[in-house]
Structure 1
Amino acid sequence: MQKIKVGIIGAAGYTGGELIRILINHPNAEIAFAHSKSQASKPVHITHTDLLGETDLTFSGEDIQGLLDGHDPNVIFLCSGHGESQKFLNEFSVPSSTKIIDLSTDFRDESHGFTYGLPELQKDKIKSASKIANPGCFATSIELAILPLANAGLLKDEVHVSAVTGSTGAGQSLSATTHFSWRNNNVSIYKAFTHQHLTEIKMSLAKLQAGFNKAVNFVPYRGDYTRGIMANVYTRYEGSLEEAKSLYRNFYTDDPFTHVSEAPIDLKQVVNTNKCFIHLEVHDGQLLITSIIDNLTKGASGQAVQNMNLIFGLPEDAGLRFKAPAF
């Protein structure tokens, strides 16, 4: 099979770096260009130091339209900041045969012909899509925690979520709340009840349980570590624990990356992988769902490649079988 030609826009950031790491080892893909204005003409390993000895790729900084026309990529990944993807598509002409996978928030409402790219939610639709809006990291973890309930029509009450993310979730740019001396030995709440991922979470729930209009009460935390999300979700539930486990396992039976664990789970089990692990408990009529992912892989670049695999008819897990550190 001829390899998929890939272009990456905004390749110097965290998600761009993770895409490069995944794609240089993908059996069915090759990187045609990795574009970065700020790092133009520099070797990729100068910015993404973990790639020293892995690739001799250099950042492209020349005219983007020239890259698109000259390489005619099969797919491009948009990894620039939120709001930049809309500007990109307004400014540049993408070949009609080129698929687009956007990692920003710009099209997660499925506007402008984009398909929301959560494979566990709408795999068949993704397979026939030409433009994918990759889900947010918190949204991925939370949606995977509650979609089986919505699919069974079992969301009867408000949903309560507390979730903590690593510092890479804030991106590479420095700010007061990403600086080491502030983040180290520290935990804080931000955007309580107003986080931008709530919009896509509610949209996804409505696809499976039309008419669900209860609140999703989401309190996000900044964690004192670099990678991973743990979401603890609870809502009213009238069934048994065994019924809940059966419901979740059946819902994810055809999904290679989402698994229900009998034992309690911890973040190191999924860091550096494209997996989501789920643990269930029932307490006094409440179902507690713990969901863990790596925010940069299943929450961003890994899921983007998973979507690429589906679009091009590849095995869903191609190039995505990574081992977690675990200890």
Structure 2
Amino acid sequence: MIRIGILGAAGYTGGELIRLLINYPMTEIVFANSESNAGNLVADVHEGLYGETDLRFTGDMPFDKVDVVFFCFGHGKSEAFLREHDVPENVRIIDLAQDFRLAPEEMLATQHPTPGAHDFVYGLPELNKSLVAEAKHVANPGCFATCIQLGLLPAARMKLIDSDVSVNAITGSTGAGQKPGATTHFSWRNNNMSIYKAFTHQHVPEIRQSLKQLQGRLDAAIDFIPYRGDFARGIFATEVVKTDKPLEEIVEGYKDFYRDAAFTHYVDKAIDLKQVVNTNKCLVHCDKYGDKLLITSCIDNLLKGAVGQAVQNMNIMFGLEETTGLKLKAGAF
């Protein structure tokens, strides 16, 4: 039995994590912390959980009673929290914020707001599974970063990324978090699309870090343009890489890279978003147009892009089968 604590449990990621863990075969949620909701039923906030749990939010954080704690904070809060609180050394941490995704040397190179030493392992299982298995602390990748990296990592291993990569990706409204805002309001989002943080999105440094890890160097730019989509969940991305390598060799390289991956699959025909929504899967497909390799990849931003991957990392950290608690059904129709 794995005893679990959740911090920031009232948001979208906290609710999705609870949804997974109350159906997990060998876990106990010891506490779901939310200062603003302390004492309230979890199901009164995460209303899809009516009839499934009597768990209540708490303002307490009994770290001595858990084996692992999930940080479901907003970005920038995890590093501050660890400065102000003592989490016992034997308690594993899985952080879903961006505070520790970059290695210390990468933090310094990118003038990260919190440079300095840390021991967090970057938790992309398709890249760092063996490191995650030995880690005490794991930094869960960002949602856009997960989708885009899984599209590009095999190309990096084949040393194909020698020129600037064009990336476009569209995300659902849940990617903006649960707190209402001008660009999440239904009347604005419905039947609408928009660009935000073009070329400056915060996930680009972690994408570059992983590509350099496989390719050995990365002189090319990652020209990423994110879009807000008129749907609740999911990310669909396209990545364009210039290469003269034949498509057949590229496809074989992709299939080989993901041959043993638990959730990432190369597909021989065009993919669509509904194939992955409500699952922990990533699907990847490649096409070739002259010297342009077009890669498509898609995930559910709340699952493979957040808490599904966090549970996958927990499974690896505790020596369990990666797919435990994550055999979910896609809402494909």
Report the TM-score when normalising by structure 2: 0.95
Q: Match for 1:68 among 49, 63, 68?
A: 63
Residue aligning to 1:30: 28
Q: Match for 1:84 among 71, 77, 87?
A: 77
Q: Give the alignment of 1:208-227 within 5 angstroms.
A: 208-227=214-233
CA shift, 1:240, in A, is 2.1
Q: Match for 2:242 among 226, 232, 236?
A: 236
SS at match of 1:38: helix
Residue aligning to 2:107: none
Q: Which whole-Å deviations, capped at 9, do the CAs of 1:256-286 have from their partners, x for residues lacking one? A: 1001111211111100100000111000111
Tell whether the 8 Å contact from 2:63 to 2:91 is kept in structure 1 after alignment. no
Moved over 4 A (4+): none
Q: Give the alignment of 1:254-293 within 5 angstroms.
A: 254-293=260-299
Q: Which amino acid aligns with 1:312?
A: F
Tell whether the 8 Å contact from 1:110 to 1:133 is kept in structure 2 after alignment. no
Residue aligning to 1:10: 8
Q: Which amino acid aligns with 1:21?
A: R
CA shift, 1:152, in A, is 1.7
CA shift, 1:174, in A, is 1.0
Taking the aligned partners of 1:9 and 1:230, their CA distance within structure 2 comes to: 29
SS at match of 2:36: coil
Residue aligning to 1:124: 130
For the pair 1:246 / 2:252, whether they are aligned, the reply is yes
Residue aligning to 1:50: 48
SS at match of 2:209: helix
Residue aligning to 1:20: 18
CA shift, 1:142, in A, is 0.3
CA shift, 1:239, in A, is 2.0
For the pair 1:148 / 2:148, whether they are aligned, the reply is no
Taking the aligned partners of 1:274 and 1:99, their CA distance within structure 2 comes to: 22
Q: Which amino acid aligns with 2:63?
A: L
CA shift, 1:28, in A, is 2.2
For the pair 1:294 / 2:300, whether they are aligned, the reply is yes
Structure 2, unpaired ranges of 5+: 105-117
Taking the aligned partners of 1:132 and 1:10, their CA distance within structure 2 comes to: 17
CA shift, 1:144, in A, is 0.3
Q: Which amino acid aligns with 1:68?
A: F
Report the TM-score when normalising by structure 1: 0.96
Q: Which whole-Å deviations, capped at 9, do the CAs of 1:27-55 have from their partners, x for residues lacking one? A: 12211111011111111100111111111
How many residue pairs align between the two structures?
320
Residue aligning to 1:313: 319
For the pair 1:96 / 2:89, whether they are aligned, the reply is yes
Q: Give the alignment of 1:164-243 within 5 angstroms.
A: 164-243=170-249
Taking the aligned partners of 2:134 and 2:285, their CA distance within structure 1 comes to: 32
Residue aligning to 2:108: none
**Greater Cα offset, 170-179 or 292-301:** 170-179
Taking the aligned partners of 1:178 and 1:218, their CA distance within structure 2 comes to: 21
Taking the aligned partners of 1:56 and 1:312, their CA distance within structure 2 comes to: 27
Q: Note the aligned Cα RMSD (angstroms).
A: 0.9
Tell whether the 8 Å contact from 1:10 to 1:79 is kept in structure 2 after alignment. yes
Q: Which whole-Å deviations, capped at 9, do the CAs of 1:142-177 have from their partners, x for residues lacking one? A: 000000011121212111100000000000111111
Q: Which amino acid aligns with 2:158?
A: A
Q: Which amino acid aligns with 2:122?
A: Y
Taking the aligned partners of 2:196 and 2:217, their CA distance within structure 1 comes to: 29
Taking the aligned partners of 1:212 and 1:40, their CA distance within structure 2 comes to: 47
Q: Which amino acid aligns with 1:143?
A: Q
Tell whether the 8 Å contact from 1:269 to 1:324 is kept in structure 2 after alignment. yes
